[in-house]
Amino acid sequence: MNIKDMNSTEDDTHCSPFLQGPQYNNIHVSGSNCKGTAADIIHDTIHTKNDKDDPYLIAESKITVENQRKLIKITEVCHGMHQDYYHGMSSTWSYPYYNFWGLTSPNELMYSLYDELRTIVKDCIPYKMMWMQTWVNFHKHDEVLDWHDHDWDYHGYLSIDPKNTTTVFKNWEVENKVGNIYLGRGHNKHKVVVNEPYEGYRITLGFDICVTPTKAVNECFGMIPL
């Protein structure tokens, strides 16, 4: 239940604040030539890429890399809780009705993961007011997502156990690796391609970011303030 009128109406001829934090440099924003400054200071591995004037970022989650097995177990337990509560409804398509971080509370490791992700988002998208909805994608090899997009200002995902898969966008592709955090603008159609069949479940955390406050209250139970 995405609320399209909450999306940014920013004119692309002006400088977007996306990726303009002090730790990024040489960032070309769609429709402009504005650039960030300084260097990568958050993680050992942060890459910024530009394809067809549409910027996106891939960062490494050290929490995920160092604690993958624990995170898999936690998400398996929480996915089971979700399935019981929502009577088998997909944890992907029920995203408007729950927030993954609430589902995992008050787990200490999950708080650390949330704090790491929040830091990256806030450094890359420096709006004063932001909201984020997060859900767990828990898919067998024949259940991965086909072409779709997200009706919010920004979209991203964190790979906990991505298997051998690639996320294909219209003008670029992302090779999914354990700990990768993808962050880009919303309204970019993409799909998941399975490079080889796998056993078990592909586990990622999807998230959408809203940066446009409204006076009205919307039925968006999954959004929480950042």
The most confident of 5-14, 25-34, 215-224, by mean pLDDT = 215-224
CATH number at residue 176: 2.60.120.10
**Is residue 32 in a domain?**
no
Higher pLDDT, 39 or 72: 72
Residue partners of 208: CB distance under 8 A and separation at least 6: 2, 132, 133, 150, 152, 154, 155, 186
**Is residue 203 in a domain?**
yes
**Is residue 7 in a domain?**
no
**Is residue 2 in a domain?**
no
Q: Is the pLDDT of residue 164 over 60?
A: yes
Q: Is the pLDDT of residue 221 over 90?
A: no
Q: Is the pLDDT of residue 187 over 90?
A: no
Per-residue pLDDT reduced to its tens digit, 41-94: 233 333 455 555 567 888 889 999 999 999 999 999 999 999 999 999 999 999
Q: What is residue 55's predicted lDDT score, i.e. its pLDDT?
A: 74
**Is residue 23 in a domain?**
no
Q: Is the pLDDT of residue 175 over 80?
A: yes
Q: What is residue 49's predicted lDDT score, i.e. its pLDDT?
A: 55
d(CA 70, CA 220): 30
CA-to-CA dists, residue 130 to 56, 93, 160, 195, 211, angstroms: 18, 22, 24, 35, 5
Tell me the mean pLDDT in the region 13-27: 37
Per-residue pLDDT reduced to its tens digit, 103-151: 999 999 999 999 999 998 888 887 889 999 999 999 999 989 879 888 8
d(CA 58, CA 43): 11
* Pairing outcome for strands 202-210 and 165-169: unpaired
Domain count, the chain: 1
Full-model pTM = 0.78
**Is residue 47 in a domain?**
no
**Is residue 8 in a domain?**
no
What distance, in Å, lies between the first and last C-alpha atoms of the chain? 20
Range of the domain at 146: 55-225
